[in-house]
């Protein structure tokens, strides 16, 4: 539940500004109205530094510190569309909490989101922000995203917001049968957004498009 106070405002937080973003996403091919409504509802300006608030509703990635970025709204919407293509998932694993914006969008469509972040200050900030917004179906862990979160597996959906050079085996293993992994894979110069569906011991792969994400690094900070 996101309060009306956080959904409204003036200037960069105005309804008109948000509607411009929604129109752009529609023009770029986002057709799921529930996803568009969630993008409209989640106050992106609260997830970026105040100095960048005036750019919060541009369709662009923005820095959030620690060498990380808040994802471009189109990419957030596209990944969310893929994540919920088969309906509302009960358990979602998110690798790379970052500022918590993608987490907040996902939480509107999930039973529980389990979110892993390797950078402790980002994790704390995201946890505090989602609590302030009244989003309570997210569980956080400071850990190595390459390892996933085995204790709560299997997951109906796993969504990764940083790019490994190849798909981590641990994430494939933690995917439920029939579950879907949405992940960017490749070097910074050439990454593909993949949708990988588990069918028993087999995995069906589909390319959703070309993207640019920060690398998925091992370990914790």
Q: Which residues contact 93 (CB under 8 A, 6 or more apart)?
A: 113, 114, 115, 116, 148, 149, 152, 153, 155, 157, 158, 159, 171, 174
DSSP-derived letter for residue 118 is S
Q: Is 53 a catalytic residue?
A: no
Q: Is 190 in a helix, a strand, or coil?
A: coil
Alpha-carbon 152 to chain mean position:
19
Q: Phi and psi dihedrals of 91, rounded to 5? A: -125, 125
Kindly report the pTM of this predicted structure.
0.92
Please give the pLDDT value at position 13.
60
CA diameter of the chain: 52
Question: How many Cα atoms are found within 13 Å in the side-chain-facing hemisphere of 133?
Answer: 27
Residue tagged active-site, from 71, 86, 110, 115: 71
User: What CATH number labels 61-211?
Assistant: 3.40.50.150
Residue 65 is predicted with a pLDDT of 92
**pLDDT at position 5, please?**
46
pLDDT at residue 142 in the model: 98
What is the chain's percent helix, strand, coil content, to nearest 5? 35, 30, 35
Q: How far apart are CA 161 and CA 69, in angstroms?
A: 10
Domain boundaries, the chain: 61-211
Q: What is the pLDDT of residue 21?
A: 96
pLDDT score recorded for residue 134:
97
Q: Determine the Cα–Cα distance for residues 143 and 20; give it in Å rounded to an integer.
A: 37
Residue 48 tokens read as 């970026």
Task: Provide the pLDDT for residue 4.
Answer: 45
Per-residue pLDDT tens listing for the chain (221 residues) = 554 445 444 445 678 899 999 999 999 999 999 999 999 999 999 999 989 988 999 999 999 999 899 999 999 999 999 999 989 999 999 999 999 999 999 999 999 999 999 999 999 999 999 999 999 999 999 999 999 999 999 999 999 999 999 999 999 999 999 999 999 999 988 999 999 999 999 999 999 999 999 999 999 98
């Amino acid at each position: 539940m996101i309060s009306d106070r956080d959904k409204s405002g003036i200037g960069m937080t105005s309804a008109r500004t948000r509607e411009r973003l929604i129109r752009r996403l529609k023009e770029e091919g986002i057709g799921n109205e529930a996803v568009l409504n969630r993008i409209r509802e989640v106050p992106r300006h609260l997830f970026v530094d105040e100095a960048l608030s005036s750019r919060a509703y541009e369709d662009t990635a923005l820095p959030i510190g620690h060498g990380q970025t808040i994802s471009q709204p189109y990419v957030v919407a596209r990944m969310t569309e893929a994540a919920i293509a088969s309906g509302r998932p009960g358990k979602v694993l998110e690798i790379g909490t970052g500022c918590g914006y993608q987490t907040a969008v996902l939480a509107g469509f999930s039973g529980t989101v389990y979110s892993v972040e390797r950078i402790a200050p980002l994790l704390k900030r995201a946890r505090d922000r989602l609590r302030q917004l009244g989003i309570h179906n997210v569980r956080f862990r400071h850990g190595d995203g390459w390892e996933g979160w085995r204790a709560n597996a299997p997951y109906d959906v796993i969504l990764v917001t940083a790019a490994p050079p190849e798909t981590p085996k641990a994430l494939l293993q933690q995917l439920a049968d029939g579950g879907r992994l949405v992940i960017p894979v490749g070097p910074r110069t050439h990454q593909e957004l993949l949708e990988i569906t588990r069918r028993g011991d087999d995995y069906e792969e589909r390319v959703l498009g070309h993207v640019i994400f920060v690398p998925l690094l091992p370990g914790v900070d």
